[in-house]
Structure 1
Amino acid sequence: MRNVAFLLIVVWLLVGFQSPGADEEVTLIFEVEGSSKLAAGEIESRIPRVEVLAVYDTIFNGVAIKGKVKELEKIARLDMVIQQYPVAVYQALYQKTEPFSTDRLRQSLSSSYTGKGVKVGVIDTGIDYHHPDLAGNYRGGFDTVDFDDDPMETVGYGETLHGTHVAGVIAANGKMKGIAPDAELYAYRALGPGGVGSSVQVIAAIEEAVEDGMDVINLSLGNDVNGPDWPTSHAVNKAIELGVTVVVAAGNSGPGAWTVGSPATSSEAITVGAYSFPEAIPTLTFPGEKKVVALHTLMGSKTWDLTKKYPLIHVGIGDEEIMDAKGKIVLFERGVIPFSEKALKAYRSGAAGVIIYNNEKGSFQGSLDGVNIPIPVAAVSRSAGKWLVEKGINENQWGETKFKEVEENVAPFSSRGPVTTTWDVKPDLLAPGVDIVSTVPGGYKALQGTSMAAPHVSGAVAVVKEAHPEWTPSQIKTAILSTADVLEKEGRLFQPTEQGRGVLDIEESINPSFLISPFALNFGRVKDEFFKKEIPIKVTNPTNQTFDLYFEQPDKKAGVTWRMPSSVSLSPGQSKQVDIHLQLSKTFVEEGIHEGFVTIRAGKDVYHIPFLYMKETADYKKVSGFELTKSMNTNHQLQYRFYLSENIERIKVALYRAGTMFHQGEIFKAENLKAGMNKGVISSDGTNLQGTYIAVVTVENNKEEEEYTFPIGFE
């Protein structure tokens, strides 16, 4: 498919839509029946004024076509067309800014495996293949943004570094050592300037990577659609079916539930959330005070290493000259003046350190934008800043830095599951994703996000693949998830939708002492008054010794009955099926998500299988991805498309003018709609809709109503 031209055209999702004019050129992906190559030829023959940008025939039968709206409307009506998709935006999933996390993980390895001979494809912003830590392992790739053989990071305007950072975690081999330092690196640039790309490029990149024979694909990108039926999720599943292990970042939309986005919603992929290592964080306090304020250093700041007591000075937002700051901690309010300018002004005034407090409720993260300032700069919440002003300024006390030990933790930004309609537990596991130092063009940098967690797992997959070249993606996933270490805090296990099976353990993944499949017990929605479901699991003893498994039921709850064997004996190499039964009396079950772990003991080893069931009134979005556009061939019709996570009795859509909230009218209503993608055409009654609107979507089930709002734009 490298012989076709390619162009980036994007439509923003979930932030409003624009309806193109009939003569405007746009790009759509058409899913087709039968051969996509034959379909492309027929389309070019019958509608010659359109341009075929890409033909997908490995992991998805479809074509990406650019043309005028009125021409694309003709294609949409062809019998061969199953579905058409807008070109969704995917963004690199990272957030902010110390030793290499890969070193901390690799030091625990006694194995000599380094990923040698394993091909790893990084679908991202490209790779700086000139970086001395990456040049030796780089083998090539492809650019689906510019559609050439040069997948270099974007330079100049909109310059990027994300893909180089991801690649370093996987397979750097220089000053930095990645998890798999001898793996063969391939870059597939699907995200262009600013780290933004489209579903056309992402699907094309997956296809290129599969055709190039990758053993592993890393996707540190995603969107906000919490559903399993998006085209990229299907593409990921197909790639896995063809023998490639695919690792996907869960997303950075946590800590709320239902925030995992496609393609991390893929049932077959290894979806990775982020956690932080145990660390000592700096805090500031005053003599005689029990309260301490945690200091979060800005990205690009030096470490907060002040050891003496210092007086504080409050200078507002920093719009005036700072006087008498020598040897003091300068306290700024956030706003108007850039962080780097505030910090530079304080440094030039002789300050020992800088604290910036928020100008609104809550905390924040920030960056010094590459400015090298030799004093530490930290951020705190608004309430913490006011307390520092009260105690440090008004009561004239000197602040003292103390360090607080913090346990390993699930990163608050890490997206949580479950996945709508399938009710899958996601993420599958956790890996380091906070303050991860890795390669970037020109050196090294600390970033955080699930984008940084996923490549730790991709590197681990490469190591496992070297050790067991005959293993399938399913076997590799089973080994990695079976051996993850469950994460707890203060004696409480984090929930399955926060951590999956737990934290990556590379050493155990290479030589697992016990295997469980599937990794989670997804009982789904409880609809019947008396609910019964049985899930078989497969337990395997890959060792050369016999051992007994002992099953422990979850804590008892009213109306909930579990049945499972109390013990199972496994001979060397033996596998057995074990049935886990759940029976519920719906009357006694509280609303919402119910999750936890079934515990299995094997000698001194303890394993945990996540479980999840949900009463039908659980709080998840019933409607997502609502689109409303003018018809391609007339201004008097509107096309709608939306995704339902469950069957709906009634739905109605009202349109309001943005800003004034003037009621434009009820434009659509329907009954008894099925879960999944719903679309159609409605009349606009000759009304010329222009500008921005708010669509209020009301759904009704069991006499209960829920409302959702979506911004809509018309030209």
Structure 2
Amino acid sequence: MNQRHINTSHNQQHKTLTKLSALALLVGLSFGQAQASDSVSVTEAEGGNLWFVELNSQPVASGNSKKNVQAAKTAFRQAAAEAGVSFKERRAFDTLFNGFSVEISPGERAKLMQIAGVKAIYPVEVIQAPKADVLGTGIVGDMATALSMTGANIAQNSLGLDGSGIKVAVMDTGIDIDHPDFGGNGANGSTTFPTARVQYGYDFVGDAFNADSSSPSYNPVTTPDNNPDDCGGHGTHVAGIVGANGTVKGVAPAVTFGAYRVFGCNGSTTADVMIAAMERAYNDGMHVLNMSIGSAFQWPQYPTAQAADRMVAKGMVVVASIGNSGASGLYSAGAPGLGKDVIGVASFDNSHVMQAVATVNGQDIGYAPMTFSPPIPTTGGGEVVPVGEACSALAAGSLTGKIALAARGSCAFGIKATNAINAGAEAVLISNNVAGPFGGTLGAPIPNGKPVVSISLADGNAIRAMAAPVLTWTDRSGSFPSATGGLISSFSSYGLSPDLALKPDIGAPGGNIYSTYPLESGAFATLGGTSMSSPHVAGSVALLLQAKPDTAPAQVRDILQNSADPKNWFGAPALGYLDNVHRQGAGMLDIAGSIQATTLVTPGKIATGEGEAGPFTQRLTIQNKGTEAVTYNLSSVNALSTGGVVTPSATTSNATVAFSSPSVEVAPGSSATVDVTITPATAPAYGQYGGYVVLTPTTAGQVYRVPFAGYVGDYQAIPTVTPTANGFPWLARLNGGSYTKCVADCSFSMQGNDMPFFLVHFEHQAQYLEMNILHAGNMMPVHPVFHKTNVEEYIPRNSTATGFFSLGWDGTRIHSNGGKGKVKEVPNGSYVLELKVLKALGDPNNAAHWDTWTSPVITINRP
């Protein structure tokens, strides 16, 4: 038997498929990470037995009556019982989603879609607790500068806004209700819920809940209660950005909070818990919902995104982080931020950080103590002596009474510090080898240790340039510029949405943000992530709604996008190129500009789709809400394009924009229109391009912009099913802990895991997948009509260039033609399976839009 082995591991978590339709039977669905050799690490899919069941009729939020919705559920339960389908009902939804979440075995799942009234089934994704970047000890994100980056300080101090009267829901790990910055009673824990600031909320899961089956603390049992207090920290940090009012002053310091806790103290939650929390926030009448949660590589059709869109349609503004998968390339944005009407938020790095201050020849130098350093003095000092990288022993006594300045690189910080201290140094400075501050660890206390701190590259170079540098320790702290301040954060996810909608929508400070944290964990912390940028927008929406209470929720995103400020490319900002629209959206949030805007341009963004279709024309409506006529000159500017998918490369764009008129005059209280025709960029291959339509007033006044973005050429030219180094797709068998590639003599008993598995790498999201069962002898379908298995829709791409999905076949075929039929076993014999994948936005009638693969011969030999 011709075989290759792939080792499997069940200790990691990867994504489940976004939606498996009707009769998808993904037995042992797995996700893996292939290496450049035969060894591949594979993991069981999250929530492999947990599924959403969507019923045909609309939910209450879409106009159906609660009586009808509940009657549909009763009919489903009765039909399922009559059909003998066995499952455990987890949650039932009426308002934002009409259906259930259930726990069901793979074999029973094959029958699920045959029940009358079922529209579709989707996997209930297991969502990891948001992971935020934590800066090194002694480096504190400056919240005041973050507020100034968005104009929130102007909105507060000049416009007198604080979010009063606006209810903001935070779906997260809860909020520390004892925290004084939320009006709590402090560390004695005597605060009772609800409080003056946190008036709404619910704990859906309890402290011990953890949905991650690979975790040692796995506990899928929820123990809900009425107190959404926080023990994880993330939610308290997010809420502080929205509206803390104490040591930290958030964006909208007088909002009323709703805390909807969906995570335990550690670990993961599930998408059905999220929808339950969304329905409660909706029923509580919250004005704004912040979700610093997401599932990367998704489609906007996933239930959490659809539920979020329904909330917007019913009058709530929904804001969500777009994700922290920037290292994974394009199309990595997450749901629910991908929702059509959701404000999906990217992250920019904070402009400044707070650090302790020393002076060198009178010049302030910011520093951060290394972990395991002795306490840093606040007086005294000494001469500073550069010692290179200090990776080798230094002459004994050469640094006696002096302070060593070592450069980062080549060896561990502890080695540098030890060498300097052994040479007599009274303290050690270690300068960065890239721009900006950093934190570090010595690994362990150093014998006869002395203070060891990190400083920036710029400060290190400035000291080296001094003739006789002398350092003096102080008891002060100060705000210092961040080298990456105002640029897109390295972790921030790329769009576009797989349906080529423009995502993300807007950006805000998310890298290096100082905010509240649970009292038992230090009360304050500096974290980074799109989790931190999203609440900047949610708090700003509260200010906007306070200033303009008649603003329709569906218009809020347009208003914010019109006044946002695009930023330069993070890779080389001095070159002057604007960063990708499909990474920064409309640009940096400017809430003061949005509140003071007298013009509204709709739509607030333009998705041009596939370049293959040629020029794209969009009619913009320009509404003048001011008291005087205004004339706008129309122009455009291109942002950088990117090629590739998993590993994007930046290039300039040759897209052009033409206008039906070079300028437009709008009378007060009236509207005018202009047609914008965008001729798409012609390079790079498989690329995304974008730019901004710019409306500049002929007199003094605000400039408004509308971002546009699209795909270069033929979208279906992107390879979808690609081989990777392992040559996928494979027909494989699962033997204990490893997959084995099977090329010949592939016989299966169909007992337990002795069944065919198919390992497939998706380079890009796919619209649809099916597998056709053919007789091996004549390659004819096993039935003229009913010959399919593994029918799926809206499949995400793999997270890496070598990852893969594993799909299993249990020897059955779908015996249904859109109605409710049944699944039938194919008899023992020899077969091949034809894998057919329709590319994203593909035309099913165009053969070029399908990827196909035919398996080796599979022999079914049931006992």
Shorter-chain TM-score: which interval? 0.7 to 0.9
Q: How many Å apart are 1:356 and its aligned residue?
A: 9.1
For 2:400 and 2:297, how far apart are their aligned partners in 1? 49
Deviates more, 1:550-559 or 1:63-72: 550-559
For 1:304 and 1:410, how far apart are their aligned partners in 2? 34
| Alignment correspondent of 1:58 | 95
Q: Does 1:130 align with 2:178?
A: yes
For 1:592 and 1:607, how far apart are their aligned partners in 2? 27
Deviates more, 1:74-83 or 1:531-540: 74-83
Distance change (3 Å), C-alpha of 1:141 and 1:259: same
The one of 752, 755, 762 equivalent to 1:636 is 755
- Contact 1:317/1:334 (<8 A) preserved: no
Q: Does 1:564 align with 2:660?
A: yes
The one of 238, 243, 264 equivalent to 1:192 is 264
Deviates more, 1:368-377 or 1:404-413: 368-377
| Alignment correspondent of 1:493 | 578
| Alignment correspondent of 1:415 | 492
Deviates more, 1:308-317 or 1:120-129: 308-317
For 1:204 and 1:369, how far apart are their aligned partners in 2? 46
For 1:347 and 1:276, how far apart are their aligned partners in 2? 35
Q: How many Å apart are 1:37 and its aligned residue?
A: 3.7
Structure 2 alignment gaps of length 5 or more = 1-11, 17-30, 33-41, 58-68, 136-140, 185-195, 207-222, 361-365, 473-479, 639-651, 723-728, 735-749, 773-786, 797-805, 813-824, 826-834, 840-846, 854-863
The one of 603, 606, 618 equivalent to 1:518 is 603
- Contact 1:482/1:515 (<8 A) preserved: yes
| Alignment correspondent of 1:38 | 74
| Alignment correspondent of 1:581 | 677
SS at match of 2:597: coil
Map 1:409-558 onto structure 2 (within 5 A): 409-442=486-519, 443-488=523-568, 489-490=573-574, 491-528=576-613, 531-554=614-637
Q: Does 1:108 align with 2:203?
A: no
**Cα offsets for 1:649-674 (capped at 9, x unmatched):** 9999xxxxxxxxxxxxxxxx999x99
For 1:58 and 1:450, how far apart are their aligned partners in 2? 28
Scaled by the length of structure 1, the TM-score of the pair is 0.73
- Contact 2:636/2:691 (<8 A) preserved: no
Q: How many Å apart are 1:197 and its aligned residue?
A: 1.6
SS at match of 1:492: coil
For 2:176 and 2:672, how far apart are their aligned partners in 1? 48
The one of 611, 615, 629 equivalent to 2:708 is 611
**Cα offsets for 1:39-84 (capped at 9, x unmatched):** 5643785569643221112111221123555555543542333223
Distance change (3 Å), C-alpha of 1:369 and 1:93: farther
SS at match of 1:479: helix
For 1:44 and 1:346, how far apart are their aligned partners in 2? 74
Distance change (3 Å), C-alpha of 1:623 and 1:441: farther
**Cα offsets for 1:297-352 (capped at 9, x unmatched):** 8899999999963444867699xxx9989754586989999x89999999999763
| Alignment correspondent of 1:205 | 277
Q: How many Å apart are 1:563 and its aligned residue?
A: 3.7
| Alignment correspondent of 1:95 | 133
For 1:487 and 1:304, how far apart are their aligned partners in 2? 40
- Contact 1:96/1:366 (<8 A) preserved: no
- Contact 1:93/1:251 (<8 A) preserved: no
Distance change (3 Å), C-alpha of 1:648 and 1:226: closer
**Cα offsets for 1:76-124 (capped at 9, x unmatched):** 5423332231433243152122332365454322122211121111011
Q: How many Å apart are 1:613 and its aligned residue?
A: 2.7
Q: Does 1:258 align with 2:318?
A: no
Q: How many Å apart are 1:438 and its aligned residue?
A: 0.5
For 1:590 and 1:304, how far apart are their aligned partners in 2? 57
Q: How many Å apart are 1:594 and its aligned residue?
A: 2.2
Distance change (3 Å), C-alpha of 1:40 and 1:599: same
Map 1:650-665 onto structure 2 (within 5 A): none
| Alignment correspondent of 1:145 | 205
Q: What one-letter code is carried by the residue in structure 1 that aligns with 2:694?
A: T
Scaled by the length of structure 2, the TM-score of the pair is 0.62
**Cα offsets for 1:12-32 (capped at 9, x unmatched):** 417546669xxx994322222
| Alignment correspondent of 1:352 | 427
Distance change (3 Å), C-alpha of 1:43 and 1:313: farther
- Contact 2:171/2:261 (<8 A) preserved: yes
- Contact 1:435/1:447 (<8 A) preserved: yes
SS at match of 1:210: helix
For 1:327 and 1:152, how far apart are their aligned partners in 2? 53
- Contact 2:435/2:483 (<8 A) preserved: no
Q: How many Å apart are 1:161 and its aligned residue?
A: 0.7
For 2:719 and 2:471, how far apart are their aligned partners in 1? 46
- Contact 1:309/1:398 (<8 A) preserved: yes
Q: What one-letter code is carried by the residue in structure 1 that aligns with 2:343?
A: I
Q: How many Å apart are 1:141 and its aligned residue?
A: 0.7
SS at match of 1:493: coil
- Contact 2:50/2:103 (<8 A) preserved: yes
| Alignment correspondent of 1:85 | 123
Q: How many Å apart are 1:33 and its aligned residue?
A: 2.3
Q: How many Å apart are 1:357 and its aligned residue?
A: 8.2
For 2:376 and 2:342, how far apart are their aligned partners in 1? 37
**Cα offsets for 1:221-248 (capped at 9, x unmatched):** 1122243222221121122112110111
Distance change (3 Å), C-alpha of 1:453 and 1:539: same
| Alignment correspondent of 2:693 | 598
Distance change (3 Å), C-alpha of 1:557 and 1:458: closer
SS at match of 1:133: helix
Q: What one-letter code is carried by the residue in structure 1 that aligns with 2:507?
A: L
| Alignment correspondent of 1:676 | 794
Q: What one-letter code is carried by the residue in structure 2 that aligns with 1:600?
A: L
- Contact 2:653/2:689 (<8 A) preserved: no
SS at match of 1:422: coil
Deviates more, 1:62-71 or 1:549-558: 549-558
**Cα offsets for 1:433-483 (capped at 9, x unmatched):** 122111001211111111111111101111111222232211222222212
Distance change (3 Å), C-alpha of 1:374 and 1:509: farther
Q: What one-letter code is carried by the residue in structure 1 that aligns with 2:690?
A: E
| Alignment correspondent of 2:245 | 173
For 2:592 and 2:266, how far apart are their aligned partners in 1? 37
Q: How many Å apart are 1:133 and its aligned residue?
A: 0.8
Deviates more, 1:90-99 or 1:511-520: 90-99
SS at match of 2:91: strand
Structure 1 alignment gaps of length 5 or more = 1-9, 288-293, 653-668, 687-695, 708-715
Q: Report how many residues are paired.
A: 637
Distance change (3 Å), C-alpha of 1:527 and 1:115: same
- Contact 2:766/2:837 (<8 A) preserved: no
| Alignment correspondent of 2:820 | none
Q: What one-letter code is carried by the residue in structure 1 that aligns with 2:121?
A: Q
The one of 384, 397, 411 equivalent to 1:309 is 384
SS at match of 2:615: strand
RMSD between aligned residues: 5.4
Distance change (3 Å), C-alpha of 1:477 and 1:591: closer
Q: What one-letter code is carried by the residue in structure 2 that aligns with 1:194?
A: N
| Alignment correspondent of 2:236 | 164
Deviates more, 1:137-146 or 1:443-452: 137-146
Q: How many Å apart are 1:506 and its aligned residue?
A: 1.8
